[in-house]
Amino acid sequence: MAGDDRPKPASTAGFRGEVLSARNPRLATLRRLSGRRSARTDAGRFVIDGPRLVHEALDAGIVVDEVYVPADQVDVAAVVDLERALRAANVVVHLVAPDVFRSVASTEAPQPAIAVARPPVRDAAGLLASANALLVLVDVADPGNAGTLVRVAEAAGIGVVVACGQGVEWWNPKVVRAAAGSLFRVPVLALADVHGVLASLHARGVTTLATSIDAGADYTAIDYRMPIALLLGSEAHGLPADVVASATTAVRIPMLGAVESLNVAMAGAVCAFEMARQRRGL
């Protein structure tokens, strides 16, 4: 029947149940979770795009509530492999009409799986009291940069990443994709009061390093083997002056040519891997 949007049975082996159509209320919820911060906050849920990232979430112990798969992609090797893992974890899988799947995805060329998951609960006070290497992002708003910095943190052995001020929402789908799985393994915190965070760190002797193009000290002149928190500022304005003044010291990355500064993710990576180099004794 033309225009018939009733659910159609799925026939592919390994996937059972109805193929969800555009009017299914689950898909309206999924669309809101993909597109609205308020929906994610209210529901305490976020979305994960792609079979590989869903696998990484499961491996990291992230609670996955359900997964949506386009009905024309169930024979793709990555989806077949994911289906086995989801079945073992007792995760519900919903098949979705292909055109409808594209309409609810958060990317123009979606990968063949979208999961709804729960952000892990982190002990902010405990992490601030114990971590000996942290990234503190102040007013960093770009999801791609924030996600990349979480990936950098994992690669460099940094234990906690904190977003302060008017910072990014950690569970934005763009952050999740940019972090490439690291967001599931590296604890991330959202704490508005940067000065409160600095006070907590200073109280236990953590050195706080503010990155600034006006600083006198070269970033390589610092002893990174001590407990360190690296402070990074917004893409447009860098760190606020009062934050730089409150830090233990400020460092700069020397530039050649006419370049004045680096992208915040690049600057963070440069400093983070200097920390990793020193801590490995290289």
CATH number at residue 270: 3.40.1280.10
CA-CA distance, 58 to 94, in Å (whole number)? 17
Give domain status of residue 167, yes or no. Answer: yes
- What tokens appear for 240 in the block? 């606020």
Give domain status of residue 78, yes or no. Answer: yes
Residue 192, H or E segment: none
Q: Do residue 212 and residue 185 come from a single domain?
A: yes
Q: Do residue 139 and residue 253 come from a single domain?
A: yes
Give domain status of residue 146, yes or no. Answer: yes
Q: Do residue 78 and residue 189 come from a single domain?
A: no
Tell me which of 118, 153, 182 is where a domain ends.
118
- Please report the pLDDT score of residue 155 as a whole number: 98
**117 Rama class: left (phi>0) / alpha (psi -120 to 50) / beta:** beta
The answer to whether residues 55 and 41 touch, using CB atoms and an 8 Å cutoff, is no
Q: Do residue 56 and residue 26 come from a single domain?
A: yes
pTM of the model: 0.90
Domain tally, the chain = 2
Q: Which of 238, 99, 90 is nearest to 165 (CA)?
A: 238
Q: Which of 265, 252, 16, 55 is nearest to 149 (CA)?
A: 265
Q: Do residue 105 and residue 145 come from a single domain?
A: no
- Give the mean model confidence (pLDDT) for residues 14-42: 88
Give domain status of residue 1, yes or no. Answer: no
State whether residue 39 is helix, strand or coil. helix
Please, what is the Cα angle at 180 between 260 and 161, to 5 degrees?
A: 60
Give domain status of residue 2, yes or no. Answer: no
Q: Do residue 180 and residue 209 come from a single domain?
A: yes
Q: Do residue 106 and residue 144 come from a single domain?
A: no
For 105, residues 6+ apart whose C-beta sits below 8 A from its C-beta are 34, 49, 114
Tell me the range of 8-12, 75-79, 260-264 where mean pLDDT is highest: 75-79
The CATH number for 66's domain is 3.30.1330.30
Q: Fill in the amino acid letter for 81.
A: D
Tell me which of 59, 88, 118 is where a domain ends.
118
State whether residue 270 is helix, strand or coil. helix
Q: Do residue 161 and residue 51 come from a single domain?
A: no
Q: How confident is the model at residue 18 (pLDDT cuts 50, 70, 90)?
A: confident
pLDDT in tens, 137-165: 999 999 999 999 999 999 999 999 999 99
Q: Do residue 164 and residue 64 come from a single domain?
A: no
State whether residue 62 is helix, strand or coil. coil
pLDDT in tens, 217-236: 999 999 999 999 999 999 88
Tell me which of 69, 96, 118 is where a domain ends.
118
- pLDDT > 70? residue 121: yes
Q: Do residue 113 and residue 134 come from a single domain?
A: no
State whether residue 12 is helix, strand or coil. coil
Q: Can you give the residue range of the structural domain that contains 14?
A: 8-118
Q: Do residue 166 and residue 66 come from a single domain?
A: no
Q: Do residue 55 and residue 165 come from a single domain?
A: no
Q: Fill in the amino acid letter for 253.
A: I
Q: Considering the chain, what is the average pLDDT of its residues?
A: 91
Please, what is the Cα angle at 83 between 143 and 105, to 5 degrees?
A: 35
Q: What are phi and psi of 249, to 5 degrees?
A: -155, 165
Q: Which residue has the higher pLDDT, 19 or 139?
A: 139
Give domain status of residue 226, yes or no. Answer: yes
Give domain status of residue 108, yes or no. Answer: yes
- Give the mean model confidence (pLDDT) for residues 267-271: 97
pLDDT in tens, 176-194: 999 999 999 999 999 999 9
